[in-house]
Amino acid sequence: MWDDQRLMDRREGPGFGAMIGLVALVVATVILVFFGIGYALGRIFL
């Protein structure tokens, strides 16, 4: 009985997993953008 409830909770998982994936993608993009800005400024000024 409790196992069935846990399985139902896990079925809602993909939405949560997709949200985590989206956050990870945004974080990776922001890191790459700032790395690119830093690299460009370094090439210009150094």
Domain ranges across the chain: 2-45
Q: What pLDDT does residue 16 have?
A: 84
1-46, pLDDT tens digit by residue? 555 555 555 555 668 888 999 999 999 999 999 999 999 999 999 8
> Token match 């993909």: residue?
14
Single-letter amino acid code for the residue at 29: T
Note the pTM of the prediction, 2 decimals. 0.61
> Token match 């993009």: residue?
29
How many other CB atoms sit within 10 Å of the CB of residue 6? 9
Rounded CA gap, 8 and 24, in Å? 25
Q: What pLDDT does residue 22 have?
A: 95
Evaluated on CA atoms 28, 30, 33, 35, the torsion sign reads negative
Single-letter amino acid code for the residue at 3: D
